[in-house]
Structures are given as C-alpha cells and as structure tokens.
Structure 1
Amino acid sequence: MAQKPINLTAAYGLESPEQSRQLYADWADSYDRSFAEEANYILPEQVARMFAAADGQGPVLDIGAGTGLCGVALDRLGISPIDATDISPEMLAQALRKDVYRDVIEADLSVGVPVPRATYDGLVSSGTFTHGHVGPEVLPGLLRIAKPAAVFALAVNARFSVTSGFTAALNRLQDGNWIRGLTLPEVAIYGPKATGPHQADKALIAVFSKV
C-alpha cells in the first residue's frame, strides 16, 4: 500500500491520541525518507549534541522517539543504553530496526510512561513538544521517572513554547527547586537544504537537570 506523504500541517493539527496513532501509523514506513531526508531535519542531532555537552549519560529515555533518529545520533556519540517511548507502535517498529535501542515502550505521555520511579539518568526529546502533540503538562511525569541529577535535553517548537506556556512551566519548576541549571538555546529545526513554509522554523532546547 502506498504511504501517505508527510504533511506537517496535518501533524500540527492533531487533536487526540487516537489521531496521533493513525497519522504516524500511516507515516511510519516512509518517515525517514520522505520527511527527515527531504526536509533536511536536523533537530535530532541538535538535541543529541546538547545532551552530550551537558554531560548526559545513559540509561537515557528517548521521548516520542518516532523512528529513532535521536537514538541514532546519541549512539554515534557513544551514549548508551537508550530506551525509546512513543505512542505509535508502527514508529517504534521502525526505531527497533536501527539497532540502537535496548528496549521500546509504547506509551501515551499524557497517561505516563510505565516504568518505575527514578529509572533514567537522562531524558531527551526531539519532536514531541510541538503543535498538535503534547505540552508542559507531562513534565511532572517525566521528572518522576528521572533519577536525581538526571540530565534533560527537550526540544520545544519555539512558537509552541509561547502558546503552550512551556517556558513558563519550566521556570516554575526551577523556582520550585524541582530542576536546576535551565538553559533554553534556540536552534534551527531544519538544515540549509530545507525548503517550504517551515524551513526557517526554530526550536528551543530545554537543557536542565533534576534536583
């Protein structure tokens, strides 16, 4: 069956977990080729580099891992072990084929990731915190599964950060002494070969550690 073309407008317009599952089921087989390569999608590499620069280490959870592009970037930097979580089993199946993940966990972040407290020394995300996906309401659940001093590197679409209150939520967590060392550098989501209406889109990468 022919795969549907990647359409960021459709992805940004998602309104429910069920819509997310269906959309990414349709995209899974062609995502790397028809989106990541053609759009010159460099955000996963940006996240991995910033995680490494912050002395992040495994075990690390790749949140909203999709087809595993951030996991591949982490693996190239020598960071392991890496687990992946995503709402789409079809995307996780693609991620497993890259042979960089120790385990994959199908989960809806709005419900929580079914692992024990204080499981991970690091958490990364390169495409989940954006329009039509999930927002800052999942941060407490992610902190629950992080060990004390765990390093986070979470990419957040820059426009979405404003409309969702993501940056404000992070600042509240820091003021409440839940996290420390918060920085929010802005990076390009797409590389110089990108074309189209989203080619100049930016992301903030929230780098911090759990107290």
Structure 2
Amino acid sequence: MESDNPLLKRAYALDGDAGRIRDLYADWAASYDADTLDGMGYVAPVLAARALSEALEGETAEARILDAGCGTGLVGAEIARRTEAEIDGIDLSPGMLEEAARKKVYRSLAEADMTATLNLSDNSYDGVVSVGVFTSGHVGPEAIDELARVARPGAPLVVTVHEKVWEPDRYAAHLAEMERHGLIRLRAINDAPYHEKEGYTCKLCLLEAA
C-alpha cells in the first residue's frame, strides 16, 4: 500500500543526500509523532524497545543505550518506560533532536551523520537500537558496522530494516558478512509490522556485538 502522506512520500523518495534529509525532517519534526503514530500506525518503536529491553536481561539499571537515528525520541520514550537505562540519542536532523529533547528521557543528544564514522568510542554502550533509519534513501547496511563498533562485546543491537530495502540493498548478505568477520552474532531476524495503517512491514533484527 502506498501512503497518501506527502512527507512520507518525500521520505521514501530520498537518495541519501544529507541536505535533503535535513530539509525533510525540519519540515516534519513538529507533526512527526502525530503523523506516524496516529496516521500511519507506526509500531516499530514499541516493538524495538521491547526487544532491546528483553535482551538486556536485568542489566537495565546501569545500562548505557545508544538510540541511533533517534528522531523525535519515540524509541527512547519507550525504552524509558521499560528500563532505568541511561539513553544517548544521535540524529542527522537538528529539528528532530529538538523534539526528542522535549521528551526528557535522554542523557545526551547530538547531531551525527550515520553514513560516516561516529564520534563515539569503541565498546561504549551496553545496547544499541536503531529504528526508522534503514529505509529508502536514508542509510545503508554499512552503517550497522559502526553500531557494532560502539557496542561492548555481548551487547544487544536491535535494528529495523524497511521491507522496501531489505533485499535490494542486500541487508541479509551484509549481516552475514559482518558475522563472518567476527563483528556480530545473528540472534534473530523476524518479520514485524512497521506502519500498520500503510501496510508496511520490516525486518526486526536482533544482533549481538562480538
């Protein structure tokens, strides 16, 4: 099913250009939560937060979590409801980060380009989550390498990949290659709802940093 939302159409038409991505989310930030949660049935943040919280296995009180591509903070808010973890968020869009700050669930928020090397130390997070990032015209599978780098060995990584890009962008092959090179261990890759009202699904990937 194709969306009638003009901003979502713009999102799916992106070509990875950082300037165009910033422009889109500057326009969308204020209405993003209502448009996606109510208008599109965006359930991926809840599902990913639940998966990460369960994977932490009782470590939530002192855990440090990276929400990569945090947007307006939908995932961070869901993690905060389930855990006592400290959450850091990064995103390309200043406008989205401003909305995320209003939720008051993040320890820190910073602008970052996930197509480049992140200004974060190796092995610095007990868990990493990334929702809504691996989709058309945004970020490719190579960015998962950086998420694995900043996670401590054994830390869970929960990533959603939109159905439209899973096969064309060869995510399965990239994750398998990461595992062969000892960067991650694949724990589960499941089909999951994404935008329920739009009819879109995703792959909900549970990985473990090696």
Give the TM-score of the pair, scaled to structure 1: 0.90
Paired positions, count: 201
Write the distance in 1 (CA, Å) between the matches of 2:64 and 2:189.
23
Q: Aligned residue for 2:52?
A: 51
Query: How many percent identity over aligned positions?
Result: 34
In structure 1, distance between residues paired with 2:114 and 2:186: 24
CA shift for structure 1 position 78: 1.4
Deviation at 1:190, TM superposition (A): 2.6
Of 165, 187, 195 in structure 2, the residue corresponding to residue 182 of structure 1 is 187
Partner SS state of residue 184, structure 1: strand
**Is the Cα–Cα contact under 8 Å of residues 124 and 153 in structure 1 kept in the other structure?**
yes
- Aligned CA RMSD, in angstroms, stands at 1.4
Moved more, 127-136 or 167-176: 167-176
What is the aligned partner in structure 2 of residue 162 from structure 1? 167
TM-score, normalization: structure 2?
Answer: 0.91
In structure 1, stretches of 5+ residues that fail to align are: none
Shift in Å, 1:105: 1.3
1:34 positional shift: 2.5
Task: State which of 101, 110, 115 in structure 1 corresponds to 2:106.
Answer: 101
- Residue 207 of structure 1 corresponds to which residue in structure 2? 206
2:145/2:183 contact within 8 Å kept: no
* Cα shift at 1:182: 2.8
Structure 1 ranges of 4+ moved more than 3 A = none
Whole-angstrom distance in 1 between the partners of 2:21 and 2:56: 33
Query: Residue 138 of structure 2 aligns to a residue in which SS?
Result: coil
Deviation digits for residues 3-24 of structure 1 (CA, Å, limit 9, x no counterpart): xx65222101112011000100
Q: Which residue of 2 aligns with 1:25?
A: 26
Higher alpha-carbon deviation: 73-82 or 84-93: 73-82
In structure 2, give the amino acid aligned to 1:177.
G
User: Which runs of structure 2 are paired with 1:58-137 in the superposition (5 Å)?
Assistant: 58-137=63-142
